Structure 1
Amino acid sequence: MAGYRTPYLPVCIVALLLSACTGRNNKKLPIIGEREAVERVVDGKTVVDTLYHQIPAFTFLNQDSTIITDKDFENKVYVANFFFTHCPSICPTMQRNLLKVYEKYKGNDKLAFLSHSIDFKYDSPSVLKSYATKLGVDNAQWQFVTGSKKDIYGISEKYLVYTKEDASAPGGYDHQGYLVLIDQQKRIRGAYDGTNEEQVAQLFTDLEILLQERP
């Protein structure tokens, strides 16, 4: 069934998420994804820095037919996900749950929302605009974007979210319903099943922690 595949997140990442849930007293969320140790010389001494997985630069078209890039999310915490407007399976529940988060933080300029449509054929800006309006989104804090198949499906991999055009899946597309939490440095700090009430509640908790974290 669409949206209920074996998680795309690697086992090590799931383990990080579980360990984070048991260690909230530390008030620090894990940084998820591959990392690389890089040596550099400072004042004649060799030090080791850690390079973390980051969301790369992107350019998409939003519901107002305006170009949206990663620069629009500079120095912001944001929640990203993947959906399509006529999705008959997980999207309605996922988007309603994300709407709860949007409504709580509406007007907070430190937090943004980014929904990528995986239906590059049908979900034009005008369709996305109608969808956003019906959902109850009435400001620029939540962006709904479209792009080429290559760009949308390519960026989903960077968020560690499974997406696929699949004629056998409900609505013609298969995807996961993760709500992915991104920090000010474009690093993944959490991933939550948007159809699961407990995980959405955890997103609320983790957002408070991340918004208080110094960049």
Structure 2
Amino acid sequence: MIRNFLAVAAATIVFLSCESQAPKLPIIGDREVIEKVVDGKSVVDTIYPAIPDFKFLNQDSVLISNKDFDNKIYVANFFFTHCPSICPTMQRNLLKAYQKYKGNEAIAFLSHSIDFKYDHPHVLKSYATKLGVENDQWQFVTGSKADIYGISDKYLIFTKEDENVAGGYDHSGYLVLIDHNKHIRGVYDGTNDEETEKLLKEIDILLAEYK
């Protein structure tokens, strides 16, 4: 599914805007074209998929919501603290982005734990501290299985409990770039250094859209 979305995105990127000649990122995901009547005239409108409203408990035991990310771009992913496979590499790569933009209020980071049984706020706090997170720009959140696993689909992320895999959970290792309108603007393999560098470049492109 991700490959199909990325193929469409690659084919539909708008490289130049009329005024600034600046590169722009695509909006990724299935879109709906609807026809409506405005002032007696038929108008075609395009509805882009967006991340729905959410509320999760963060590493400081504070309830945060989608409102905390209003007027920001953010990078989201899904992990768990005792993951023995892709998570350590993925989180170290996301840390590169955090360190580059630390203190920049225009960008945030959001890591959802898929281990709703073990990753309580104090566990997430300890994990964030050891990783090197020093402010609230990077949020680590937990919630019910239904809420976390349900919203992962909206980020185009696969998540699953699976006792047959190491750690007991299976999930995608993607880093997902979200804009002010909660649209997905990029999906990157968080275990790949080249993809991480691409993420950093495309964060700059997206930030430039809001200047």
TM range, smaller chain:
over 0.9
Contact residue 13 and residue 24 of structure 2 kept, 8 A: no
Q: Which runs of 5+ in 1 are unaligned?
A: 1-7
Helix, strand or coil for the counterpart of 2:32?
strand
Q: Distance in 2 between matches of 1:72 and 1:97?
A: 23
Deviation at 1:206, TM superposition (A): 0.6
Q: Who is 1:201 aligned against? A: 197
Distance in 1 between residues matched to 2:24 and 2:11, nearest whole Å: 11
Cα displacement (A) at 1:214: 3.6
**Counterpart amino acid of 1:203?**
L
Deviation, 1:39, is 2.2
Contact residue 14 and residue 23 of structure 2 kept, 8 A: no
2:159 paired residue among 136, 158, 163: 163
Partner amino acid, structure 2, of 1:9: I
**CA contact under 8 A between 2:36 and 2:45: conserved in structure 1?**
yes
The percentage of aligned residue pairs carrying the same residue is 67
Deviations 1:60-105 (A, max 9, x none): 0000000010010011100000000000000000000000100000
Look up the SS of the partner of 1:100 in the other structure: helix
Q: Note the alpha carbon deviations across 1:106-165, whole angstroms, 9 max, x for none.
A: 011110000000000000000000000000001110000000000000000010100100
- 1:123-134 equivalences under 5 Å are 123-134=119-130
Are residues 1:69 and 2:65 paired? yes
Contact 1:16–1:30 under 8 Å retained in 2: no
- Structure 2: gaps of 5 or more residues: none
Residue 2 of structure 2 is matched in structure 1 by: 9
What is aligned with 1:118? 114
User: For the aligned residues, what is the CA RMSD?
Assistant: 1.8
TM-score w.r.t. the length of structure 1 is: 0.91
Equivalent AA in structure 1 for residue 162 of structure 2: D
Q: Number of paired residues?
A: 207
1:120–1:149 Cα contact (<8 Å) kept: yes
Q: Distance in 1 between matches of 2:35 and 2:29?
A: 20
Q: TM-score, normalised by structure 2?
A: 0.93
**Aligned residue runs from structure 1 range 86-165, under 5 A:** 86-165=82-161
Residue identity in the other structure for 1:182: I
* In the alignment, structure 1 residue 55 sits paired with structure 2 residue 51: yes
Q: Which runs of 4+ in 1 moved over 3 A?
A: 17-26
Matched, 1:83 2:75: no
